Amino acid sequence: MNEIVRGVTAADALLGAAEFEAAIRAVGAERYHDKHPFHKLLHGGKLSKGQVQAWALNRYCYQSAVPRKDAALMSRTLDRELRREWIHRIMDHDGIDDEHGGIERWLVLTDALGLDRDYVISMEGALPATRFAVEAYVRFVVEQPLTVAVASSLTELFAPAIHRERIAGMLENYPFVNDEVMAYFKRRLTQAPRDADFALEYIKANARTREEQEACINAVRFKCNVLWAQLDALHNAYVEPGLIPPGAFRPNA
Ligand SMILES: O=C(O)c1cc(C(=O)O)c2c(n1)C(=O)C(=O)c1cc(C(=O)O)[nH]c1-2
């Protein structure tokens, strides 16, 4: 059954702005990936260095897809104001001029974990499910109505809390993690709220029917699934039962 429709029709009453926002936040409270067991292990210092390496190199796929999906979103809108706002997301990740950007900060993290940059960037060692999940996000943004595509970024509403938990937990628990390694997440603490606030206001103004609102709420569910599926894949391959697919990264430690 298509969750987007789920009994809602254009005739249903529009949610008020506060109710709409609350429905989106409820999705995060129920299904954001801060609740995933793999994150509990990662932040609690329960993983080996090799397992942390696996997380970092898989997560690189997500990092590298984010500016691609943002470029896809920009290519779809005739609204110059939206493009002027959205373009900074691409610059945040890819960098501009002397600012190296988030992807470079991610590679500083993978360097510090002892991973070869070319290997990380090639994504050859990434899990198949990671690649599929990440590309599903890019396709979603290409194919869904623009407002729904904007809504899919709204998991960022919930990101600062998990980033704070990760910074504190990883610094405390792993000898191979220092401030430089965590710089990516520190920067996101200011970038993510700005992005999320804009996206939230945008969908409040632009989802004009109940059906559109439900599609936005569902976009956040979809995105939680994109994030959750990546952690399921990591857990399955590197925690238990330890089924590492052929060709995927094999930790030494
Ligand atoms: O570490 C995390 O848990 C996490 C989650 C998310 C998210 O919720 O999608 C993003 C990020 N980090 C992040 O660093 C980031 O740049 C980012 C961009 C986006 C997006 O959808 O546009 N999500 C996220």
Q: What is the ipTM of this complex?
A: 0.96
Q: What φ, ψ does residue 86 adopt, rounded to 5°? A: -70, -25
Q: Under DSSP, is residue 123 helix (H, G, I), strand (E, B) or coil?
A: coil
Contact call for residues 109 and 57 (beta carbons, < 8 A): no
Which of 63, 152, 156 most suits a substitution to test ligand 1, by most atoms within 8 Å of the C-beta?
156
Residue 144, number of CB atoms within 10 A of its CB: 21
Dihedral of alpha carbons 8, 4, 227, 186, sign = negative
| Residue-range domain boundaries for the chain | 21-238
Start-end of H helices in 113-158: 117-122, 128-143, 146-151
CA 225 to CA 68: how far, in whole Å?
19
Q: How far is the CA of 219 from the centre of ligand 1 (A)?
A: 14
Tokens (6 digits) for 122: 């090639």
Fold held by 21-238: Heme Oxygenase; Chain A (1.20.910)
Per-residue confidence of the chain (253 residues) as pLDDT tens digits? 344 446 676 668 999 999 999 999 999 999 999 999 999 999 999 999 999 999 999 999 999 999 999 999 999 999 999 999 999 999 999 999 999 999 999 999 999 999 999 999 999 999 999 999 999 999 999 999 999 999 999 999 999 999 999 999 999 999 999 999 999 999 999 999 999 999 999 999 999 999 999 999 999 999 999 999 999 999 999 999 999 999 999 998 5
Taking the centre of ligand 1 as the mean of its atom positions, its distance from the CA of residue 159, in whole angstroms, is 6
201, two tokens: 């206001």
Among 27, 38, 155, 224, residue to substitute to test ligand 1 (most atoms within 8 Å of Cβ): 155
**244 Cα: distance to centroid of ligand 1 (angstroms):** 25
Question: How many whole angstroms separate alpha carbon 223 and alpha carbon 62?
Answer: 12
Rounded CA gap, 191 and 189, in Å?
A: 6
Write out residues with Cβ below 6 Å of ligand 1.
66, 153, 155-156, 159, 162-163, 188, 227
Q: pTM for this structure?
A: 0.95
Residue having the nearest C-alpha atom to atom 24 of ligand 1: 156
Of 175, 250, 223, 249, nearest to 66 (Cα)?
223
Q: For residue 162, how far is its CA from the centre of ligand 1 (angstroms)?
A: 10
Interacting residues of 115 by C-beta distance below 8 A, sequence separation 6+? 53, 56, 57
